[in-house]
Amino acid sequence: MSYVKFASESDLPPVDEAKEFICGGRAICIANVNGTYGAMDGVCPHRGGPLGQGMVEGDKVVCPWHAWAWDVKTGATELDSNLKVQIYPMKIENGDGMVEI
């Protein structure tokens, strides 16, 4: 696996917001939690909602379809211990947002 550019740093979401990006043919949700970015799979495993269009509440991204909340660091939800979203390592390098997929 290697890091792939998905956006310029200026396109990343502001504090306490999430945004959807396409990277490597898949939807990635980038969340800015209190100034720290996290990257996760952009499709909610509950019903396929677009997590990148959801809201950031605390350290979680809330799916806009059914309000399931996903932890940005672990990918876990409190609603179903069997479900998780994939978390991806992310970094900003030379003004580019990069994710390891």
DSSP-derived secondary structure for 13-43: PPTTEEEEEEETTEEEEEEEETTEEEEEESB
Coil, strand or helix at 53: helix
Per-residue pLDDT at 101 = 87
Distances (CA, A) of 46 to 26, 59, 81: 17, 19, 12
Of the pLDDT bands very low, low, confident and very high (cuts 50, 70, 90), residue 24 is confident
Rounded to the nearest angstrom, the gap between the alpha carbon of residue 80 and the centroid of all alpha carbons in its chain is 19
**Domain ranges, ordered by start, for the chain:** 3-100
28 in Cβ contact with 6 (< 8 Å): yes
Assigned superfamily of 3-100: Rieske [2Fe-2S] iron-sulphur domain (2.102.10.10)
pTM (2 decimals)?
A: 0.94
